[in-house]
Amino acid sequence: MKVLVLNCGSSSIKYQFFDVKETLVLAKGSIERIGTSSAILTHTRHDGDNIKITGEILDHNIAIEYVLAVLLSKNHGVIKDKNEIEAVGHRVVHGGEDFSVSVLITNAVIKTIQDNFELAPLHNPPNLKGIVACQSHLPGIPQCGVFDTAFHQKMPPKAFLYGIPYQLYKSHKIRRYGFHGTSHLYVSQRAAEFVGKPFNELKIITCHLGNGCSMAAINNGVSVDTTMGFTPLEGLLMGTRSGDIDASIPLHIMAKEGLTLAEITTMLNKHSGLIGISGVSNDMREIIKAKEEKHVRSKHAFENFCYRIKKYIGGYIAALGGLDVLVFTGGIGENSYEVRKETLTDLEYLGIKLDEEKNLNTAGEREISSADSKVKVLVIPTNEELVIALDTAKIVSEIKQQTCLL
């Protein structure tokens, strides 16, 4: 089955076109700066052929038209007819409490995505724009929604309730949701395959460390706790996000500096984290470089980043009652041996022993723990698009089979 995977943001669309049977990405690309006269489309075909076009793309509907046009293009495309696209899979950020698995998009699903707009005002509206655009350009082609929050929906109340009046959970849906669920699910399942044990018999901690960072505690295939919360602001220190802070800090700063709600939101989401502490960069590579050049605030940022991961590892081992596998993924988790080393130093007591040489290896899925480490430590490159393609293909095949049986 050929599946188009779409990740529609407020001003960008990323796409991958899969041949699911062959697990092959036939083409992929993105459109950036949607809504301007200088939008940029970049497109790469599986054989390496690529193009970059700049021009006016004023909304998501037109952007999807361009994606389809480039897939159909005589010189750079991979299909001859739109009908070769058998299904579309959409990344949808917030499924609220309504979706714990991927679903076929129906009118009722669209209504629920809309109902969850207030939980993810920056993400769900553009996600839906992509869905509506596909309904118009690919009528009759089934579409599926794969939710960032879905994998964490089985967390118990002790993990998802905040210590605030319970009625706020009921009236405003304030609870921990967690994000990056597609990535945590993918790498934990791959980790189980890697160690050759059933997914539902393992205690796993996954660390997704990229621009956004989160961890999940996974017990017998179920995410039982995760560091991101009501929004993706909570938990670990991130590139530009603060992660955990005392809830009274924003109120105090607002009063002291006369900041508005919008200004404090921007401060916590865009000017905090690595860039906030270091003043140098939100990019871990720059932080490490500056730290090595003895830049003190970059050293603080690096150590704070790793220390928080270490604290959560300890906490999640306690929550899980043990640990079999620890997984690193995301741009930092996959690439930074420095972050992995700093984080895992002195955890032998908890059964975690890094092999320093293996930790320097770079490519692919790999083990980096020493032979006598009780816990296997793995690096597993994430692949959220593949999960979206596979989930979509599965849902659509099942529907086709049921239709045949009728």
What is the nearest approach in angstroms of ligand AMP to the Cβ of residue 319?
Answer: 25
What element of type H or E holds 14?
strand 13-19
Contact 199, 192 (CB under 8 A): yes
DSSP type of residue 389: H
Which CB atom, from 335 or from 343, has the smaller least distance to ligand AMP? 335
* Maximum C-alpha span of the chain: 70
Side by side, the strands of the sheet bearing 103-104 are: 50-57, 36-45, 24-32, 13-19, 2-8, 87-92, 143-147, 103-104
If one asks whether residue 336 binds ligand AMP (CB under 6 A), the answer comes out as yes
Q: How many residues does the chain have?
A: 406
Instruction: Write down the least CB distance from residue 335 to ligand AMP, Å.
Output: 3
Q: What is the smallest separation between the CB atom of 179 and ligand AMP, expressed in angstroms?
A: 13
Closest by CA position to 249, among listed 214, 221, 276: 276
Nearest CA-CA partner of 100 in 177, 32, 162, 13: 177
Among residues 272, 335, 369, 392, which is the contact residue for ligand AMP, using CB under 6 A? 335
Q: Which is nearer to ligand AMP, 96 or 210 (CB)?
A: 210
Query: Can you read off the two tokens belonging to residue 26?
Result: 């036939």
Number of residues that bind ligand AMP (CB under 6 A): 11
**What phi and psi values does residue 148 have, to the nearest 5 degrees?**
-60, -25
What letter does residue 354 receive in the DSSP assignment? B
CA 348 – CA 352 distance, rounded (Å): 5
Site for ligand AMP in 181-210 (CB under 6 A): 210
Q: Interacting stretch for ligand AMP, rule CB under 6 A, among 47-55, 96-104, 154-162, 324-332?
A: 324-332
Question: What DSSP string describes 37-70?
Answer: EEEEEEEEETTS-EEEEEEEE-SHHHHHHHHHHH
Minimum CB separation from ligand AMP for residue 406, in Å? 43
Minimum gap (Å) between residue 41 Cβ and ligand AMP: 20
Stretch that binds ligand AMP, among 152-160, 240-248, 249-257, 332-340 (CB under 6 A): 332-340
Q: Is 277 in the site for ligand AMP (CB under 6 A)?
A: no
Distinct helix (H) and strand (E) counts, the chain: 14, 14
The two beta strands, 325-329 and 203-209, are parallel
Task: Specify the residue, 90 or 208, whose C-beta has the smaller distance to ligand AMP.
Answer: 208
330 binds ligand AMP (CB under 6 A): yes
For the bound state, the minimum distance from the C-beta of residue 239 to ligand AMP, rounded and expressed in Å, comes to 6
Separation of alpha carbons 102 and 150, rounded Å: 7
273 binds ligand AMP (CB under 6 A): no
Q: Is 89 in the site for ligand AMP (CB under 6 A)?
A: no
Contacting residue, 239, 273, 276, 381, with ligand AMP by CB under 6 A: 239
Instruction: Select 338 or 391, whichever has its Cβ closest to ligand AMP.
Output: 338
- Residue ranges of alpha helices (H) inside 223-354 are 248-257, 261-270, 273-278, 284-292, 296-320, 330-335, 337-344
148 is catalytic: yes
* Cβ proximity to ligand AMP, 76 vs 291, nearer residue: 291
Q: Which of 331, 352, 376, 380 binds ligand AMP (CB under 6 A)?
A: 331
Task: Decide whether 70 or 213 has the Cβ nearer to ligand AMP.
Answer: 213
Q: Using the rule CB under 6 A, give the single segment among 57-65, 74-82, 277-285, 320-328 that binds ligand AMP.
A: 277-285
Locus of tokens 């929004």 = 231
Q: Which amino acid, residue 54? A: T
x-marked contacts with ligand AMP along 279-318 as a string, rule CB under 6 A: ----xxx---------------------------------
Q: Tell me how far apart the alpha carbons of residues 315 and 376 are, in angstroms, rounded to a whole number.
A: 18
CB of 240 to ligand AMP, least distance (A): 10
Which lies closer to ligand AMP via its Cβ, residue 153 or residue 188? Answer: 188
Using the rule CB under 6 A, is 381 a contact of ligand AMP? no
| Residue 225 beta carbon to ligand AMP: minimum distance, rounded to whole angstroms | 22
Cβ contacts of 30 within 8 Å, gap of 6 or more = 12, 13, 14, 15, 41, 42
Eight-state DSSP code of residue 164 = S
- The answer to whether 211 contacts ligand AMP (rule: CB under 6 A) is yes
Q: Which is nearer to ligand AMP, 173 or 270 (CB)?
A: 270
Who's near 152: CB < 8 A, 6+ residues apart? 176, 177, 178, 179, 181, 184, 216, 223, 226
Where does this chain bind ligand AMP (CB under 6 A)? 210-211, 239, 283-285, 330-332, 335-336
Q: Which residues are catalytic?
A: 148
